[in-house]
Structure 1
Amino acid sequence: MTLAEQHRPVLDAAHGGDPAALAQLLRLCQPDIRRYARRSCLVSDVDDAVQEALLVLSRRLGSVRLLAAFSGWLFKVVRHECRKLARLALRHAPYDDERAERWLAAQDTAGLRLDLVNALESLPADYLHMILLRDFAELSIAEIAALLGLTAAAAKSRLHRARLLAREYLVG
């Protein structure tokens, strides 16, 4: 059942301009928007993407011509917000290699170990598991994917996000 079918009466009323129905629709859609944003955004951008998507929903719901296409439209808005936030983050180049090298050179071994432990402890469990399997247990992507029941592409993606978060913690 699509989001539009699931919330049809509230969606119709909100589309018709009922402010109470719009407020209820925003509450009903938020968990789905957040779940989709977690898959589409950097972890640090999820809350911002959800907020922006809800704002776009509240402002532009009246322009949606076919309410049956509401779910697709809403997830397209979330995906657009995630990409916009990623572009903004990349424009500032927070992870340039020179900066990382300077940071590493300035660290003593004991301090680096402590920072690395703290960075790993800050990761969500799924991401920590990926780093431990790949970088400490030295399993291949294919082995990790088979072990976790993922596709190789999903395992690579999860590992990439895990490393980005760890790097963000250490260098950012």
Structure 2
Amino acid sequence: MADRTWPAERLIVAAQRGDAESISALVSGSHPHVRRFARSLCATPEDAEDAAQEALIILYRKIGTLRATGALASWMFRIVRNECLRRARLTVRRPELVEDTRAISAEDEVMRRLEADRVAAAIAALPADQRQVLIMRDVQGLSGRLVAGALGLSVSAMKSRLHRARATVHRTLESTPEGGADG
């Protein structure tokens, strides 16, 4: 099934050398994989589409900086993950700004951003399997059965990974100082 394989190494090498046709073919061939990554990591379908587009733009602009042709998938996954996390941080802030029309002090805003960054860093530090389950279940709000099915896991295995991910994030947040304040 061609949809499951990444573009061939020769195409990646030609794109790295600046061949316009190869770059175009590389972006087109990577698109289904990048979209699949984004759909599994982002909170909303809209964010997933935007993250996928952003990742493909970066691929188009920076393919020459990719050092190892075999690293294309992990490079694209990292770009998509970072974009999804960035969008999740923005989403977390939006409802507060809409619901609370009172003036927010600069100090409160800085503290919110620091806390959001701490949470995002704790999630990003999780092993990939735990991070994926946590994002799909807790950020995207998908049902446990749907998450388990999408990842090819039993519901109990999905719950176990989710529990480990939540516990690890909790421990990480407990062990790191809030906003750099001395505790």
TM-score (norm. length: structure 1): 0.54
Residue 151 of structure 1, CA deviation: 3.5
Q: Does 1:38 align with 2:48?
A: no
Structure 2 equivalent of residue 81 of structure 1: 83
- SS of residue in 1 equivalent to 2:95: coil
Q: Does 1:90 align with 2:92?
A: yes
> What CA deviation, in whole Å up to 9, does each residue of 1:25-79 have, x standing for no partner?
1111111111111111112311000000000111111111222222211110111
Query: Mind listing any 5+ residue stretches in structure 2 that lack a counterpart?
Result: 101-140, 147-153, 166-183
Query: Mind listing any 5+ residue stretches in structure 1 that lack a counterpart?
Result: 99-125, 132-143, 158-172
TM-score (norm. length: structure 2): 0.51
Structure 1 equivalent of residue 23 of structure 2: 22
Structure 1 equivalent of residue 170 of structure 2: none
CA–CA separation in structure 1 for the residues paired with 2:60 and 2:83: 15
Structure 1 equivalent of residue 56 of structure 2: 54
CA pair 95-34 structure 1, distance change in 2 beyond 3 A: farther
CA–CA separation in structure 1 for the residues paired with 2:93 and 2:66: 32
CA–CA separation in structure 1 for the residues paired with 2:142 and 2:84: 20
CA–CA separation in structure 2 for the residues paired with 1:3 and 1:34: 14
Residue 153 of structure 1, CA deviation: 4.1
Q: Does 1:145 align with 2:155?
A: yes
Work out whether residues 38 and 46 of structure 1, in 8 Å CA contact, stay in contact via their aligned partners in 2: yes
Percent identity reads 29
Work out whether residues 40 and 79 of structure 1, in 8 Å CA contact, stay in contact via their aligned partners in 2: yes
- Structure 1 segments of 4+ aligned residues over 3 angstroms from their partners: 94-98, 126-131, 149-155
CA pair 69-58 structure 1, distance change in 2 beyond 3 A: same
Work out whether residues 38 and 80 of structure 2, in 8 Å CA contact, stay in contact via their aligned partners in 1: yes
Residue 86 of structure 1, CA deviation: 1.1
CA pair 77-128 structure 1, distance change in 2 beyond 3 A: closer
Residue type at the aligned position of 1:56: I
> RMSD over aligned Cα, in angstroms?
3.6
CA–CA separation in structure 1 for the residues paired with 2:25 and 2:11: 7
Work out whether residues 16 and 62 of structure 1, in 8 Å CA contact, stay in contact via their aligned partners in 2: yes
Work out whether residues 42 and 84 of structure 2, in 8 Å CA contact, stay in contact via their aligned partners in 1: yes
Residue 96 of structure 1, CA deviation: 8.2
